[in-house]
Every structure is written in C-alpha cells, then in structure tokens.
Chains A and B, each alone.
Chain A
Amino acid sequence: MLRIPCPWCGERDEIEFRYRGDASKPRPAADAGLEAFSTYTYARENRCGWHLEWWLHVAGCRKLIKLVRHTLTHEIRAVGRAGDSLTLPPEGSGG
C-alpha cells in the first residue's frame, strides 16, 4: 500500500487515488507535426528508477498531483501540485 502525501489533503492511502500516467512529457505545440505528437502519445522512457507521474486524488480533493516515485522500490521522494516542476533524483541514487 502506497501512502501518498497529497499537497492539499496530507498523507492518504493509495486507494483514494487514481494513477494518471507519465508526467514527464510536455504536450508539443499545436503545429509541432505528426512525429512530435506520435512520440508524445506513444513513446515512454519506462525507466527502472525514479519516475515523474500524475495521480488524481479522486476520493479526496479531486485535484491532479505530481509524484516522484521509484518504480522498483515504490519509494515516494517528492510530491507537488499540478503546476509545480519537480526534478528527478540522479539515476542510481537510493530508492
């Protein structure tokens, strides 16, 4: 069970949240072309390590939040509001 520290509601069980995927990809500009949108939609780094991701607090504040979580140990290193920019720890650092 993950305990997710929602920036609005405090620490809650993962069952209050819905995962909304990779948050590391900025949406391309509208005129960026097919290849940019194809990469944005389909390509995933899928690292075994630190991962920036969206979670939706459906059973709480109903806001989208960002997490930095390790995909092997599931450790949560940082949390932020939707507009915050979080940075990933270097590869191989803890987790």
Chain B
Amino acid sequence: MAAGRTRGSTGRYSALRLAWEALTGHTGWPQAWRKAVPKPRYQVVIVGGGGHGLATAYYLATEFGIREVAVLERGPIGLGNVGRNTTIIRSNYFQPDNVRFYEFSLKLWEGLEHALNFNAMVSQRGTLNLFHTEAQRDLFTRRANGMQLQGVDAVALSRAEVKARAPLVDLDNGRYPVLGGFLQPRGGTVRHDAVAWGYARAASAAGVDIIEHCAVTGIRRDGRRVTGVETTRGLIATDTVCLCVAGHSSQLAEMAGLTLPIETHVLQAFVSEAIKPVLDVVLTYGAGHFYVSQSDKGGLVFGGAIDGYNSYAQRGTLPMAEEVAGAAMTLLPGLARLRVLRQWGGVMDMSMDGSPIISKTPVDGLILNGGWCYGGFKAIPAGGMTTAHLIARGEPHPVAAHLDLGRFASGRTIDERGIGPYPYLH
C-alpha cells in the first residue's frame, strides 16, 4: 500500500509490532525496501544484488558512511546463487588465512539478526564432518588443531558419539564404514532468502538505492579509470564499480577488458519432500562429496560436487544427480524411499586455486568480489564487510588481504585441498 513509504522505511520489526499487526489485519506492514529508480550519478555502483552485493552496500552505508550507493540487479534480488545454495555456514577450514576469514564471517552471522533487525533463522546446529579412514582422521585432526590454535571450536567425535548425534547414519555401511567425525558446534544453517531480504531492507533504510531489473551492458572507462556503467535503464556515472556477480564475473570483467583466473561451472542442489525431524546437524560425507541438512520445513537439503565441465546453464545434469543420490544411499540408507521434491542448479565462479577473490583490479576504480567457487554463502557477511572496507579505505581489510588478484601471478595461491590450477577439480 502507498503508506509503505511514510510509515515504513524506519519501522522496526518486533514482537509487539507483530501482535499489533495481527490485531489490525496486517495492513500496516511497510515495503521492506524502496523500489529505487537510477540516479545519473553515484559514489559507488555495485553490480549484482546477491548476498555479497547487498552486504557490501549495507556495510558501506552503515560502517563506512558511504550512502551514495546503488546496487544494480538484472532481475529481482535473491534469485541468483544467494537463493540457490544449501544454506550452510561454518569456518572449519585448513589454511590459516581461510580460518581467519571464515571465522570473521561466522562471528558476523552470530550478530546478524540483531544488526539487521531481521529474522534470518540463523541456526547453529553444528556441522559434522565424518571420516572413514585413519589417514582421513589424521588430516581432520590436523585441521581441527589448526582451528583450535585460532580459537575456533572443533570437537572430535567417536563412532558412538556420531551415532548419538545422527542416528540415521549407517556407521557400518559396506563400502566406507564411519570411524568417527569432527564437529564444529557453531556451524549451522541460515535461511538464505532472508539473508538477501534482510540485507536489502537494512541497506535501503540506510540510504542505498536497490535497483532491480537493471542489467549492466557495458563498463565505461577513461583510459585506465572507470567512469560509469551502461545499463538497460541508462548510463550511470560513478568513480567506483564493484562487481559482485559470482558465476558471471568473467563476463562483466570482459566489459572492462580484463581476463580473470576463473571458470564458470554448474553446481546442483536438491531438496526432498518434507518429513518429521530426523537430522539436527549439518552432515558431510567423507568418502564422497555429499552434504545434507534438514530445513525447518522438514525437507532434506543436500548437494554434492560441481557437474565437472564449464557451464553457464543454471540447471544440472543427471550423472551428478545419480552420484549424489548414491552417496546419500551409502550414508543414509534409511532415506531410500524418500522422494526428491526439487532439483536445481546455479553457476559458480570456480577460481584457479579454489579460493575467492576480493581485490582491486588493473582498472582503476574497478573492484572485484568473486571467485567464490561454491563457498560463497557462508562468506556473505565477511565478503560484504571486507569488500566495503576495500572500497572505502582503498586498502584490503586485514582478514581478506590474502584474497587479492595478484596472488596467482606471484605464486601465493590459497589451495585449500592442494589440487592445483584445475577449477573443474576444486
């Protein structure tokens, strides 16, 4: 309703407000974010209204006082990868720099709902990584020790403790018996749509223009400097353009004459029909690529590895669906008669070392937030905060300095699993 603007933009959500609206027919809820139209000029233009773009805009406005910000999204916000992932948050990484960065993110998740005044259903139900060989146990132990050295929680679980925590797991499955697991109790899930909506609402309230249905078609430059973006809704002048379009970073960078160390691949996710609670932890399989959690609606949300070859198709193919189903059956045979309700795909920036990029580029004024492989969701708060820091201060945030674009040429790659420059294997 039209009153949205006047009553709405500062209206806080609260239990009292909910009770009042329940009594008055829910007619007073304001529009959550303004439907802005593009102005001719902004201090900062963010391309991409996904998790990282919206979070960057929010932190620019609230932490760094830069409010002349536009977020340009080619469709409606929240329909890209921020709404397509399996909603897992965690910081159980191996490389010390990665542990620091993702732990920074996990701490921001812990305070996010209060900061945004939005219920994102942050649920720290724990992430449990199973191991199936002694060598894998040793590797996980080393990783857990590295995490503990930085004050991050990691707990070793015996077979009996795994069974108690996740009774559905077939510990003695014929192929890969489970020997134990490592639990990060503070890991968990977040309702991904609410992350996009919460950041959008809070950023809009702080003065950011969120412009939907506005696709960028070109990046204007004057020599080596960015001067603006051409869009389907006209030219917008700016000195700073930030790309937050993981999946399509290469295409946007090409508009500025850059070639990135990124390939685009498709990753599938699946959700089953809803059942009563059977799994209260995020579970990962150690003998294949498979992860599963149960949503609050009751569906099991699960996924596996990327399909394995370059693809811009936002849909998956059957061989990987079969592999994921096979892993599910090995680990959780009790689910054999459960039906898959939906399956979908999203396109990922697969970087050449499997780690993200938050960096200046050879084009002055062009900032890149991308290369998230398939770990971008958990990093949204940290990605937004550190990208905003890079834009506002002109230098990288200390926890994200290692994510610069220059690391490839200089040999400082951050290869979490020691795979090498083969994006299809990360």
A contact residues vs B (CB 8 Å cutoff)? 1-2, 13-15, 19, 21-22, 34-35, 38-39, 41-48, 51, 53, 69, 71-74
Q: A38, B408: Cβ atoms under 8 Å? A: yes
Q: A46, B319: Cβ atoms under 8 Å? A: no
Residue of B263, B312, B422 contacting most chain A CB atoms (<10 Å): B312
From A19, A38, A74, give the contact of B313 (CB < 8 A).
Answer: A74
Q: A41, B352: Cβ atoms under 8 Å? A: yes
Residue of B nearest to A13 (CB): B319
Contact residues of A: prevailing secondary structure: mixed
B contact residues vs A (CB 8 Å cutoff)? 248, 250-251, 259-264, 308-313, 317-319, 352, 408-409, 421-424
From A15, A22, A42, A44, give the contact of B319 (CB < 8 A).
Answer: A15
24 contacts between A and B (CB under 8 A): A1-B318, A1-B319, A15-B319, A21-B422, A21-B424, A22-B263, A35-B409, A41-B408, A41-B421, A43-B260, A44-B250, A44-B259, A45-B250, A46-B251, A46-B260, A46-B262, A48-B251, A48-B264, A53-B309, A53-B310, A71-B313, A72-B313, A74-B311, A74-B313
Residue of B310, B318, B319, B352 contacting most chain A CB atoms (<10 Å): B310
Whole-angstrom distance between the Cβ of A26 and the nearest chain B Cβ: 16
Pairs A-B, 9 closest by C-beta atoms: A46-B250, A42-B261, A19-B309, A48-B312, A42-B408, A38-B409, A43-B259, A72-B312, A42-B352
Contact residues of B: prevailing secondary structure: mixed
The answer to whether A71 and B310 touch (CB under 8 A), given A41-B352, A42-B409, is yes
Residue of A38, A45, A46, A73 contacting most chain B CB atoms (<10 Å): A46
Q: B260, A44: Cβ atoms under 8 Å? A: yes
The answer to whether A42 and B264 touch (CB under 8 A), given A53-B309, A71-B310, is no
For B409, list chain A residues within 8 Å (CB).
34-35, 38, 42
Whole-angstrom distance between the Cβ of B141 and the nearest chain A Cβ: 31
Q: B263, A46: Cβ atoms under 8 Å? A: yes
Residue of A34, A43, A44, A72 contacting most chain B CB atoms (<10 Å): A44
Alpha-carbon separation in the docked complex, A22 to B261 (Å): 12
For A19, list chain B residues within 8 Å (CB).
308-309, 424
Alpha-carbon separation in the docked complex, A34 to B251 (Å): 26
For A21, list chain B residues within 8 Å (CB).
263, 422-424
Alpha-carbon separation in the docked complex, A45 to B262 (Å): 8
Alpha-carbon separation in the docked complex, A38 to B263 (Å): 16
For B311, list chain A residues within 8 Å (CB).
71-72, 74
Alpha-carbon separation in the docked complex, A74 to B317 (Å): 10
Alpha-carbon separation in the docked complex, A46 to B310 (Å): 8
Q: B310, A2: Cβ atoms under 8 Å? A: no
For A71, list chain B residues within 8 Å (CB).
264, 310-313
Whole-angstrom distance between the Cβ of B326 and the nearest chain A Cβ: 12
Alpha-carbon separation in the docked complex, A31 to B373 (Å): 33
Whole-angstrom distance between the Cβ of B92 and the nearest chain A Cβ: 27
For B263, list chain A residues within 8 Å (CB).
21-22, 44, 46
The answer to whether A1 and B313 touch (CB under 8 A), given A21-B424, A46-B262, is no
Whole-angstrom distance between the Cβ of B310 and the nearest chain A Cβ: 5
Alpha-carbon separation in the docked complex, A39 to B261 (Å): 9
Whole-angstrom distance between the Cβ of A46 and the nearest chain B Cβ: 4
Q: A46, B352: Cβ atoms under 8 Å? A: no
For A47, list chain B residues within 8 Å (CB).
250
Alpha-carbon separation in the docked complex, A2 to B313 (Å): 13
Alpha-carbon separation in the docked complex, A38 to B261 (Å): 10
For B317, list chain A residues within 8 Å (CB).
1-2, 14, 74
**Known A2-B317, A42-B421; 5 more pairs at CB < 8 Å:** A19-B424, A38-B408, A46-B264, A47-B250, A71-B312
